[in-house]
C-alpha cells in the first residue's frame, strides 16, 4: 500500500467513523437530544432522531468501506447541514451558547469539506 492509499483509507476511516460513533451515541442519549429538537418544533423528534442516526451509521460505514462512498458522503453532507440547522441555531442564541453553536457550525463546515473530498474521489 502506498502512502497516498494509506492516507486515503485512514482519512475515510476517520471521517466515516465520526458518523458511526455519533450515530450510535445518539441511541444512548435519546432524551437529551429529542428534548431540544421538540423545543425547536421538530415533529416526532424521537422518530426523526432515530431515523437520522440509523442513516448516519450506515452512511458512515459506507464511507469507511468504500461502498458507494461518494454518494454516502454526499448524503452525509446533506445530513450535516440539516442537523446543524436544527441543533446549532446560533441566530437564536446569545453569549456563550451562541459562541458554542457558531463553533459547532465551523467544525461541521470542515467535516463537510472532508466529505466533499471523499465524494470527489469516488464519484
Residue 62 near residue 68 (C-beta atoms within 8 A): yes
| Residue showing cell 497516498 | 4
Give helix 95-122 / helix 3-26 axis angle, nearest 10°: 130
Nearest alpha-carbon partner for 87 in 6, 15, 9, 26: 26
Q: Which three cell numbers stand for residue 17?
A: 467513523
Q: Whole-prediction pTM value?
A: 0.93
Give residue-wise pLDDT tens across range 60-117. Answer: 999 999 999 999 999 999 999 999 999 999 999 999 999 999 999 999 999 999 999 9
- Helical residues (DSSP H) of the chain, grouped into ranges: 3-26, 30-39, 45-65, 69-87, 95-122
**What is the structure's pLDDT at 9?**
94
Contact in structure between 115 and 15 (CB atoms under 8 Å): yes
Share of the chain above pLDDT 90, in %: 97
Looking at the predicted structure, is the pLDDT value of residue 119 above 90? yes
Whether the predicted pLDDT of 1 surpasses 90? no
Q: Which of 113, 15, 121 is nearest to 71 (CA)?
A: 121
Query: What percent of the chain stands above pLDDT 70?
Result: 100
Amino acid at each position: 500500500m502506498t502512502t497516498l492509499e494509506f492516507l486515503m483509507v485512514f482519512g475515510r476511516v476517520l471521517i466515516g467513523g465520526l458518523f458511526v460513533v455519533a450515530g450510535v451515541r445518539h441511541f444512548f442519549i435519546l432524551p437529551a437530544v429529542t428534548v431540544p429538537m421538540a423545543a425547536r418544533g421538530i415533529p416526532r423528534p424521537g422518530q426523526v432522531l432515530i431515523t437520522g442516526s440509523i442513516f448516519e451509521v450506515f452512511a458512515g460505514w459506507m464511507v469507511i468501506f468504500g461502498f458507494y462512498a461518494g454518494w454516502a458522503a454526499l448524503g452525509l453532507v446533506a445530513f450535516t447541514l440539516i442537523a446543524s440547522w436544527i441543533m446549532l441555531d446560533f441566530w437564536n442564541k446569545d453569549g456563550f451558547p451562541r459562541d458554542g453553536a457558531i463553533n459547532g457550525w465551523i467544525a461541521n463546515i470542515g467535516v463537510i469539506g472532508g466529505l466533499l473530498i471523499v465524494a470527489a474521489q469516488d464519484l
